Amino acid sequence: MARGDLIEIQHRNADGEWERYGGIRIIQANKTKSTESVSASREASAQRVTFRVAWHRQLEAIEHDMDCYRILWRGVTWDIQGYDDFMYRHVTVDLEAVSYG
C-alpha cells in the first residue's frame, strides 16, 4: 500500500543537475495507465501514476514549471506531467507522473 510512503521531489538546477527539493508523504497513489510498444529497434513501456499529497506552499512552483521537477518513489524516477490543486482550495494536490522503463 502506498499510503504514507515518502516521495522525494527533485528539482533541476541551473547546471542541469537534479537535486533534492523536498519530501512529502503520499495520501494516495493510483496507477492510471500502463502502455507498452515495440519498434524495430527497441521495446518501451510507460506507467502513469497519480500521487495525491497534502497541499504545501512549496508545491506551487511545480505547477508553473513541471519540466524542472520530478519524483523519486520506490527507486523509480517519475516525470511530473500534471498538477491539480482542485479549485485552488489548497487541501490536496494530485501530481500526475509517468515513468518510462
| pLDDT for residue 3 | 87
Residue 96 pLDDT greater than 80, yes or no: yes
- Structural domain containing residue 29: 6-100
pLDDT in tens, 18-72: 999 999 999 999 998 666 555 545 656 889 999 999 999 999 999 999 999 999 9
| pLDDT for residue 45 | 80
| pLDDT for residue 76 | 96
- Which are the contacts of 80, defined by CB distance < 8 A and separation ≥ 6? 62, 66, 69, 70, 71, 95, 96, 97
Asked whether residue 1 is domain-assigned, the answer is no
Domain total of the chain: 1
Asked whether residue 49 is domain-assigned, the answer is yes
pLDDT in tens, 4-23: 999 999 999 999 999 999 99
Least confident of 38-47, 78-87, 91-100: 38-47
Asked whether residue 93 is domain-assigned, the answer is yes
Residue position matching grid coordinates 490536496: 92
